[in-house]
C-alpha cells in the first residue's frame, strides 16, 4: 500500500485560491473517538493514522508545501504501555511504507524531536527517510516524534550557548530559528486542532508566533478533506498583519 495515494486531479481549497504554504496539525481525539464506539484507544490511533494518510495526500495534491503533524509528544510516554507500544508500531508501519514510496511520489519526510529514546528500528527508518529526502524534491511532511515545544527551545538555546562560548557571536531572532528542529523551513501559516480542545499543548511554541489558529469539535479520525477545506477557507478569510495595522483604502 503506497504511503501517499494519488488523486485524479489537483483542486484548490475553494476551487481557485492557493492554500497555505505550511499547515500544522495537532492530531487530537483518537482516544475519545474509540471510546464513543466502545473500542480500545489503540483502535482510535489506528483510525487516526489512516486519517493522517488521507489528509497528507490531500495536502500534497492541493499544493501545500509543508505539513507538520504532532504524532507523539514528550508527555505521551506517560500513557499506558500498551497504548505507547501501539503508537510506536504504527510509526514503524508508516515509516516503512514511506521509505518505499516517497522518492517515487516526490515526498520528503523529516522528524522533529529528540529521537534518542526511540527504538533502533525507528531510528534506522528515520535515517533512511533523511537520506531519501536529501535527494528528493517535493512536499515536505514533518512528523513530530518525542517532541515538545519547550524542549525544542531549550535544545536550541543550549546549542547556541555552546557556540557563543566558542565564538562570542550574538545572533538575531531569525538566526536563532536555525537552531530549532524546524531550521530551514517557514513557520506554519495555519495550525489546526481538532477534538474541541482550544490550546497548543506545547506544539511549535516558537514557530506559532504569527500562525493563524483553527479549532474544531471534529475528532481527528473523523477529520476529512472537507474539514480541511473549511479550515483553509477560514484561514483565507483572515487578515494577517504580523503586528502591523491594516491600511485602509481611500
Band (42; pLDDT cuts 50, 70, 90): very high
Task: Give pTM, 2 decimals.
Answer: 0.89
Contacts of 50 (CB under 8 A, 6+ apart): 221
CATH number for the domain running over 22-148+187-236: 3.40.1180.10
Q: Provide the percentage of residues in the chain whose pLDDT is more than 70.
A: 90
What is the per-residue pLDDT for 240?
73
Contacting residues for 211 by C-beta, under 8 A, at least 6 apart: 24, 187, 188, 189, 190, 191, 204
> What average pLDDT score do residues 93-97 get?
95
pLDDT for res 1: 37
76 is catalytic: yes
Looking at the chain, the whole-number percentage of residues with pLDDT higher than 90 is 86
Mean pLDDT of 141-161: 97
Kindly name the residue from 14, 28, 61, 114 that is annotated as catalytic: 28
**Confidence tier at 239 by pLDDT (50, 70, 90):** confident
Q: What is the pLDDT confidence band of residue 94, given thresholds at 50, 70 and 90?
A: very high
Name the average pLDDT for the chain.
91
50-67 pLDDT tens trace: 999 999 999 999 999 999
Q: What is the pLDDT of residues 202-235, one digit of tens each?
A: 999 999 999 999 999 999 999 999 999 999 999 9
Provide the pLDDT for residue 10: 41
Across the range 123-141, mean pLDDT stands at: 96
Using the predicted structure, report yes or no on whether residue 178 has a pLDDT greater than 70.
Answer: yes
- pLDDT tens digit string along 3-35? 444 443 444 444 457 899 999 999 999 999 999
pLDDT band at 247 (very low <50, low <70, confident <90, very high): low
DSSP-derived secondary structure for the chain: --SSPPPSS---TTSSSPPPSEEEEE---HHHHHHHTT--HHHHHHHHHHHHHHHHHHHHHHT-SEEEEEEEETTGGGS-HHHHHHHHHHHHHHHHHHHHHHHHHTEEEEEES--TTS-HHHHHHHHHHHHHHHT--SEEEEEEEEE-HHHHHHHHHHHHHHHHHHH-----HHHHHTTSTTTTSPPPSEEEE-TT--S-SSSSTTGGGG-EEEE-SS-GGG--HHHHHHHHHHHHTS---TTS-PPPP-
Residue 28 falls in the annotated catalytic set: yes
Q: What is the pLDDT of residue 55?
A: 95
Q: Which of 76, 114, 202, 222 is catalytic?
A: 76
**Domain residue extents for the chain:** 22-148+187-236
- Give the pLDDT confidence score for residue 242 in this predicted structure: 64
Amino acid at each position: 500500500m503506497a504511503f501517499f495515494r494519488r488523486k485524479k486531479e489537483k483542486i484548490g481549497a475553494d476551487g481557485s485560491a492557493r492554500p497555505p504554504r505550511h499547515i500544522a496539525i495537532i492530531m487530537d481525539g483518537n482516544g475519545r473517538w474509540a471510546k464513543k464506539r466502545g473500542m480500545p484507544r489503540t483502535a482510535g490511533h489506528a483510525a487516526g493514522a489512516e486519517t493522517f494518510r488521507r489528509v497528507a495526500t490531500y495536502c500534497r495534491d492541493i499544493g501545500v508545501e509543508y505539513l507538520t503533524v504532532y504524532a507523539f509528544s514528550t508527555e505521551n510516554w506517560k500513557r499506558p504501555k500498551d497504548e505507547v507500544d501501539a503508537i510506536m508500531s504504527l510509526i514503524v508501519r508508516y515509516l516503512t511504507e514511506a521509505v518505499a514510496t516517497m522518492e517515487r511520489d516526490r515526498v520528503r519526510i523529516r522528524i522533529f524531536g529528540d529521537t534518542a529514546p526511540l527504538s533502533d528500528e525507528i531510528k534506522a527508518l528515520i535515517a533512511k527517510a533523511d537520506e531519501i529526502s536529501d535527494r528528493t524534491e517535493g512536499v515536505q511532511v514533518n512528523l513530530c516524534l518525542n517532541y515538545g515545544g519547550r524542549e525544542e527551545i531549550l535544545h536550541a538555546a543550549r546549542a547556541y550557548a555552546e557556540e557563543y562560548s566558542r565564538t562570542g557571536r550574538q545572533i538575531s531572532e531569525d538566526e536563532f530559528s536555525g537552531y530549532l528542529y524546524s531550521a530551514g523551513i517557514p513557520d506554519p501559516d495555519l495550525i489546526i486542532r481538532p477534538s474541541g480542545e482550544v490550546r497548543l499543548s506545547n506544539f511549535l511554541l516558537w514557530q506559532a508566533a504569527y500562525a493563524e489558529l483553527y479549532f474544531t469539535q471534529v475528532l481527528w479520525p473523523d477529520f476529512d478533506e472537507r474539514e480541511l477545506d473549511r479550515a483553509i477557507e477560514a484561514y483565507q478569510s483572515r487578515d494577517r498583519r504580523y503586528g502591523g495595522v491594516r491600511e485602509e483604502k481611500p
